[in-house]
Structure 1
Amino acid sequence: METDSFAANLRLLCSTESSVSALCRRIGVNRQQFNKYLSGAARPSPANMRKIAVHFGVRQAEFLLPTEEFEAHPSVAGKLAGPQVPRPDGGGFYSAFRGQTLPLRRYLGYYLSYFLTQTWENSIVCALVCLDELDGLIRSRSLERSIDPDDGSLYLSKYDGRVAMLGNRIFVMEYQRLARDALVETVLHPVGRGQLQYLRGTTFGISSRQRLPFTSPVVWRYLDDFTSLRDAMRQVGRYDINSAKLDQRARSILLGAREANAEGFVMPGRPG
């Protein structure tokens, strides 16, 4: 990485922040060390580089670009342009997803999403979710892949969506991209004040296989130890509800939510 280009590109992105001190607090980087990055006196460690890249929604490799090219890059140009003015034909519902870059910036990255399903008895499905920025909007992309324990059939679902933060809650609206016959809404909030490791909430919509309304508690675990997409994909699939391979915090939250709802109604579960 060319240190001069990196420092200039980082300064350019920091110009969109309210202050460097607030930025350092949000991403968990020492302010004095960050100043060395800005001046070109030092380069970030791999861990800090990932924090910076995720926060700004810019790929690490893009920091290699010459400053003029970096400034014109689609993932950067939208940030520098500031909030977009809604077009006359894009108001109402669509306006909820504009201007979300700042409130949702700290949530960008990869997650494992856990939810209960009745497609298979006593099962939890783990999906992979990515939140990133595209053309000034926060985008969600989800992948579910499960193998039927009875006949070995593979079930694959891909979702594309948009994300908004309204009233301290994260709303994710997704479209089933392969079957093209289902919309899913997920509402999330942090587990515990001020921490981002786990987001919990509810997911609901119309099952693409059974065409029945469904609802299920859901937990998203942030992959702060994310190393590669291949490693994350190995964790996607169906798990027995008592499997030791499950994230035990996520499992505990799901089972607690299920017990709390047991007397009110039966949750048919999101398709697995």
Structure 2
Amino acid sequence: MNHDFQANLKLLCSFYKSISEVCRRLDINRAQFNRYLNGTTFPSTNTLRRFCDFFGVEVEEIKLPHQQFQRLVQVKPEPLNTSASQASDPALIYQQRVMQMGQKGLDKYLGYYFEYYLSMAYPGKILRTLVCLEKHAGKTYFQRTERIQKKGRRHVFHGKYKGMVQYLSDRIFMMDFETLTEYEITQTILFPSFKNRIDCLTGLRLGVSGSGERMPCCTRVVYEYLGQEVSFRKAFKLCGLYDLDSDEIESGIRQNIRNDIKEDEWHFRARF
């Protein structure tokens, strides 16, 4: 696999002016990157995911046999390069500003979480997904992965959301895009943790149901912190749909994601 990865990485670099440009954009040491290109060292899981995000490929794809990977890359769109004329584009300026702001204070939140909320597509069920917050080149990003298997059926549905994170005035803002069907953008706002140790984060999630109805919905959400490193396979197997009274979901979490509203409340509010 190292030989194929080496050849695949060289192919991806060939779309850029030089190896130096790739290293500069990735903010990685040239000598270290050369060891990956020469096949003497294989990158860590986090570094590999960082490379794939930069080149616009999946982790599973970059490990493919080289000839198969060549055919795959031929049908993928070329990487976007910001030209001098684009530098004055108001939309790009705004996007860059959003990505730069609100990055301080997020390092303590990096790692893996279980996300819990009442499913929009399957009313009356709790959905548990796996979320990973990571930092690349000074910016904080996250990936949310769904695993849904209906009771009594063998087929498993997967959903993959990728987005960016900002920390603004004691609130964590997350916006993501569904990458498999490209049908959905969601936004999540969480309360931060004011303790040294992160346990659970609570807030609200706004999106549309994955069913044909595509009804805009807002639901309470809980993020349960798992740690900086986890066994992805073991954690992902625990994701899916659960009954409202399932003993596999902690009672405190079940209580915090209830979508009730008090008589004196005029808006649907998060629970701190």
Same fold at TM > 0.5: yes
Q: 2:172 touches 2:192 (CA, 8 Å); kept in 1?
A: no
Structure 2 counterpart of 1:156, from 131, 144, 158: 158
Deviation string for 1:150-175 (max 9, x for gaps)? 65553321101011111111111100
Deviation string for 1:211-263 (max 9, x for gaps)? 221111000011038541112112111011111111333222112xx223699
Aligned to 1:13: none
Aligned to 1:240: 243
Structure 1 counterpart of 2:132, from 127, 130, 133: 130
In 1: Cα distance, 2:142 partner to 2:238 partner:
19
User: Which amino acid is 2:32 matched to?
Assistant: E
User: Which amino acid is 1:103 matched to?
Assistant: G
Structure 2 counterpart of 1:205, from 190, 204, 207: 207
Change (3 A) 1:222 1:262: farther
Count of aligned pairs between the two proteins? 192
Which structure 2 segments of 5+ residues have no match? 1-27, 36-42, 48-86
Q: Which deviates more from structure 2 when the two are superposed, residues 140-149 or residues 107-116?
A: 140-149
In 1: Cα distance, 2:194 partner to 2:254 partner:
16
Structure 2 counterpart of 1:69, from 21, 29, 32: 32
Q: CA RMSD in A?
A: 3.6
Shift of 1:185: 0.4
In 2: Cα distance, 1:127 partner to 1:144 partner:
5
Deviation string for 1:48-75 (max 9, x for gaps)? xxxxxxxxxxxxxxxxx999639x9996
- Per the normalisation by structure 1, the TM-score is 0.60
User: Which amino acid is 2:185 matched to?
Assistant: L
Which structure 1 segments of 5+ residues have no match? 1-64, 76-86, 268-272
Q: 2:103 touches 2:167 (CA, 8 Å); kept in 1?
A: no
More helix by share: 1
Change (3 A) 1:149 1:117: same
- Per the normalisation by structure 2, the TM-score is 0.60
Aligned to 2:171: 169
Change (3 A) 1:152 1:92: same
Q: 2:103 touches 2:166 (CA, 8 Å); kept in 1?
A: no
